């Protein structure tokens, strides 16, 4: 049984989470449902939950306020939010779990199974630290990469290129490469606003790391780590637009 706390200022939202929890008998042990940050700050250290469903807007405070004030965090978090593009981007960058309200049953079930897989893995300090980095406006983004041993943090500007390998993706930086078990499409969407360009079905490059461009029947680019990345015929014109 996972010791669980729900923090949400709207009853119908916490009720919804409760009804979804009921579908997973013997999985959750709900210790408390809390509707304000102050009480949460008082109760959470006392009750020592393993999991917190955390709303983002809680009266005039936010779930982030709660996390920053609580100090040490030794529980898992699943954020729940209605629609906040900015925060969602930050969650994705930091590889944190979140559910969009109104919560879809399948999405909830998927989150539960991810939770079961990861519960024992190291604490969330690093991911949350990355989250706060990413939430700062105009900050250089950092990306959290789940790896076999835990999590790794990469600066987006240091990523040179990515290559798809079936449902895995290799991420190349000047220090070498990392493999993650996410499809390249995930990173394509995530990095779309950050000077990344899909040159080929299985290649995503950081435009800022392009060293040279070779034209020809099969054109390609030379990246700052001297890797050659092909550019598909259909993407060539679009690619060249970035350099005009």
Partner 1 sequence: MLDSLENVINTYTKEDTTYVNLRIKFTARKMFLTPADTTWAAYVNKTLDISKQLNYPKGIAISYNNLGIIHHYFLSDPLGGLDYYQKSYAIFDKYPKFNTYVIAILTNIGLIHLEQQEYEKALKSFKSLLKYPENNKKYMTQFYIANTYGDQKKLDSSIYYYKKALVGSEQNKQLLYVANIKTNLGLVQTNAGFIEEGLVSINESLDLIEQHNIESLRVPAYTNAAEIYLINNNIEKAEYFATSSLELNESLNNLNTEKSALATLANIYTQKKDYKNALLTYQKHIVLRDSLINADRKLEIARKEIQFEADKDRAISQVEIERQKSIKNASIIGGSGLILASIISFVLYRRKQDAVSKSKEAEFNAKVSDTELKALRSQMNPHFIFNSLNSIGDYILKNDTQSASDYLGKFAKLMRLTLENSEKKEILLSEDISLLRTYMDIERKRFNYKFDYVIEIEADLDADNILVPPMILQPFIENSIIHGLSRKEELGLVKISFKAEKNMLICSVDDNGVGRKNSISNKNNPESKSMGMAITKSRIEIINKLKNTNGNVEITDKTEGTRIDVSLPMQLAY
Residue 242 binds to partner 1 (criterion: CB under 8 A)? no
Q: Report the number of secondary-structure helices (H) and strands (E) in the chain.
A: 8, 17
218 binds partner 1 (CB under 8 A): no
By CB under 8 A, residue 105 contacts partner 1: yes
User: Cβ closer to partner 1: 19 or 113?
Assistant: 19
Residue 104 binds partner 1 (CB under 8 A): yes
d(CA 221, CA 14): 51
Nearer to partner 1, 105 or 122 (CB): 105
Report if residue 198 touches partner 1, rule: CB under 8 A.
yes
List the one residue from 38, 39, 69, 107 that touches partner 1 (CB under 8 A). Answer: 107
Longest dimension (CA), the chain: 67
- Select from 41, 103, 115, 179 the one that contacts partner 1 (CB under 8 A): 103
According to the binding rule CB under 8 A, does residue 234 interact with partner 1?
yes
Nearest-angstrom CA–CA distance, 176 and 131: 24
Q: Is 88 in the site for partner 1 (CB under 8 A)?
A: no
Q: Which residues of 94-111 are buried (b: 16+ CB within 10 A; e: fewer)?
A: bbbbbbebebeeeebeeb
- Residue 23 or 42: which CB sits closer to partner 1? 23
Site for partner 1 contains 161 (CB under 8 A): no
Choice from 6, 16, 141, 144 touching partner 1 (CB under 8 A):
16
Instruction: Give me the least distance between CB of 104 and partner 1, in Å please.
Output: 4
Quick one: 74 exposed, middle or buried, by C-beta within 10 A (0-12, 13-18, 19+)? Answer: exposed
Report strand pairing: 159-165 vs 168-173: antiparallel
Nearer to partner 1, 20 or 54 (CB): 20
Burial 202-224 (b: 16+ CB within 10 A, else e): bbbbbeebbeeeeeeeebbbebe
Toward partner 1, which CB reaches closer, 3 or 101? 101
**Per CB under 8 A, which of residues 173..192 are in contact with partner 1?**
185
The full 3-state SS of 185-212, as one line of letters, equals HHHHHHCCCCCEEEEECCEEEEHHHEEE
Binding residues for partner 1 (CB under 8 A): 16, 19, 100-107, 185, 198, 200-201, 232, 234-235
């Amino acid at each position: 049984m996972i010791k669980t706390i729900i923090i949400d200022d709207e009853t119908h939202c916490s009720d919804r989470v409760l009804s979804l929890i009921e579908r997973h008998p013997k999985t959750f042990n709900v210790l408390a449902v809390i509707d304000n940050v102050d009480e949460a700050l008082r109760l959470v250290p006392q009750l020592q939950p393993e999991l917190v469903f955390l709303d983002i807007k809680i009266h005039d405070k936010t779930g982030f306020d709660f996390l920053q004030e609580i100090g040490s965090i030794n529980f898992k978090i699943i954020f729940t939010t209605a629609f906040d593009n900015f925060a969602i981007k930050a969650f994705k960058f930091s590889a944190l779990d979140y559910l969009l309200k109104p919560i879809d049953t399948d999405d909830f079930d998927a989150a539960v199974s991810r939770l079961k897989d990861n519960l024992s893995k190291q604490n969330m300090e690093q991911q949350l630290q990355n989250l706060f980095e990413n939430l700062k406006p105009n900050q250089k983004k950092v990306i959290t990469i789940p790896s076999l041993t835990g999590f790794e943090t990469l600066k987006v500007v240091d990523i040179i290129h990515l290559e798809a390998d079936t449902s895995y993706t290799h991420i190349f930086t000047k220090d070498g490469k990392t493999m993650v078990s996410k499809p390249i499409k995930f990173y394509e969407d995530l990095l779309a606003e950050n000077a990344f360009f899909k040159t080929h079905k299985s290649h995503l490059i950081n435009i800022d790391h392009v060293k040279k461009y070779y034209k020809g029947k099969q054109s390609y680019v030379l990246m700052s780590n001297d890797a050659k990345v092909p550019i598909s015929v259909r993407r060539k014109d679009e690619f060249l637009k970035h350099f005009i």
